[in-house]
Amino acid sequence: MQLTEKPIHYLRELLHSGEITAKQLVTSVFERIDEVDAQVGAYITLNKEEAFKAAERADEMLKQGDARDLLGIPIAVKDNISTKGLRTTCASKVLENYVPAFDATAVAKLKEAGAIIIGKTNLDEFGLGSSTENSMYKATRNPWDLSRVPGGSSGGSAAAVAAGAACGALGSDTGGSVRQPAAFCGIVGLKPTYGLVSRYGLIPAAPSMDHIGPMTHDVRDAAILLQTIAGPDGQDPTSGRMQPENYEAALTEDIKSLVVGMPAELIEEVEDAEVKEALFGMANVLESLGATVRKVSLPHSKFAVACFYLLAACEVSSSLASLDGVRLGSRVFEAEDTVTMFSKTRGLMGKEAKRRILVGTAALSGQYRKTHYERAQKLRTLIKTDLAEALDECCVLLLPTAPSAAFPLGHKVDDPVAMYQSDVFTSVANLAGIPALSLPCGYTKEGLPLGVQILGRPFDEVSVLKVGHAFEQGCSMAARRPKLEVGTSD
């Protein structure tokens, strides 16, 4: 196994013991990027010069006995999260030349912990998609099978980690965009509780449902990254007051007497036999470790994906209004008047972004506000109530992450309704703002990874990570890596 495919906690020990240097590790990552990224397409922008400077500083600090968890660890960042002095495009031509003057709080915390930012990863434009085919630059491919999607919208981050082209990554999750690509690429992805990780510096899609979360090789690494980026932030008005815990120290394999719920209504929606087998296989493993598994009811969950896409479109319509060529973003100058300039500038956006803006604008207009938007908000409250009641009975809930394994490139890109169904199991956690962790739980007959997600009570990431870690230790699926043939990029 390549050095860059090793988990962060293993690399941390090598760095602190002096067996490797940060410069060697960063060199290994960029060599791996040179080998595979021409095929995978995980990155939009690389940060090579600054990364090597940071590695030199990290090596000096390591020699002085600096014991920070992430010192010298190369991390990739999704390209809708602001990075000071490093282009942040949201995979859109509208922001093609945008270079932020500040770091997102999550990025600033990574840097404070000694992490080295190696580049910005590809995504569906503005985070609007489930396959990373809606990028205005390129489509990202799944390292397990280059003919398939890596999931979305954090597909670049997932593919980079899975391919060993990053030791860990940040993604963003509005309706499943950390967890679904994690499942498709056979890695771990965590959507924290809303407010636990600051959204400051995350370019918004649907602000009431946007989250920043870690994407890693295993659950322990997710815990390490989470305890680094979590915590209150006065620059984010939606930030919670909860202080981050030592999530890594809380990981144990003891889940005896813990109650795990399986939502009956959503499990009835599982049509893929291999997904269902992986789900129940994970439940059996948890029972063998001493947990109690029982069915619970989420009666309104069958409406979640429709509710999510209506509300998300309304928020997208508002969030992207500033990208008009005047306040922010690129401007098309060849226009005879202001209205035409607005229209041509917005014309730089891709089909999916335009679709969401149009749907959201319509749903917020006139009578449709009451019949669509306000009803969807009431339904969101019912879904949150269902989840709260289920989590009163159980410590965590178990669900598939996606309805299937990774699907072929181009298979759903022209069928938005089919694409939206990719979020049928993930969107409930965003509507409620509760933590949800996806981790590998099986493989198809073709060798493609499958993921199951663990949902928990608000701010109870400890239980979610603890259950995920116990399962991971019980079956060792996190050790598998894709067999990616290497080439050389230009």
State yes or no: is 177 an active-site residue: yes
Catalytic, out of 28, 82, 130, 153 = 153
Closest by CA to 393, choosing from 247, 264, 234, is: 264
State yes or no: is 78 an active-site residue: yes
405 CB neighbour count, 10 Å cutoff: 26
Determine how β-strand 211-216 pairs with β-strand 168-173.
antiparallel
In terms of Cβ atoms closer than 10 Å to its own Cβ (0-12, 13-18, 19+), residue 19 is exposed
Closest by CA to 209, choosing from 315, 91, 353, 310, is: 315
Contact 110, 230 (CB under 8 A): no
Token pair 């809930």 in the structure block, residue: 397
Catalytic, out of 92, 130, 172, 177 = 177
* b/e 116-125 (16+ beta carbons within 10 angstroms → b): bbbbbbbbbb
Calculate Rg over the CA atoms of the chain.
21
Which residues on adjacent β-strands are paired with residue 456? 396
Determine how β-strand 168-173 pairs with β-strand 436-443.
unpaired
| Amino acid identity, position 78 | K
* b/e 307-340 (16+ beta carbons within 10 angstroms → b): bbbbbbbbbbbebbeebbbeeebbeeeeeeeeee
How much of the chain is helix, strand and coil, in % rounded to 5? 45, 15, 40
Q: What are phi and psi of 8, to 5 degrees?
A: -60, -40
Contact 195, 238 (CB under 8 A): yes
In the numeric block, which tokens belong to residue 261? 């719920």
State yes or no: is 365 an active-site residue: no
Determine how β-strand 259-263 pairs with β-strand 188-191.
unpaired
Angle at 365 between CA 361 and CA 368, to 5 degrees: 110
Catalytic, out of 6, 78, 93, 412 = 78
Q: Catalytic positions, please?
A: 78, 153, 177
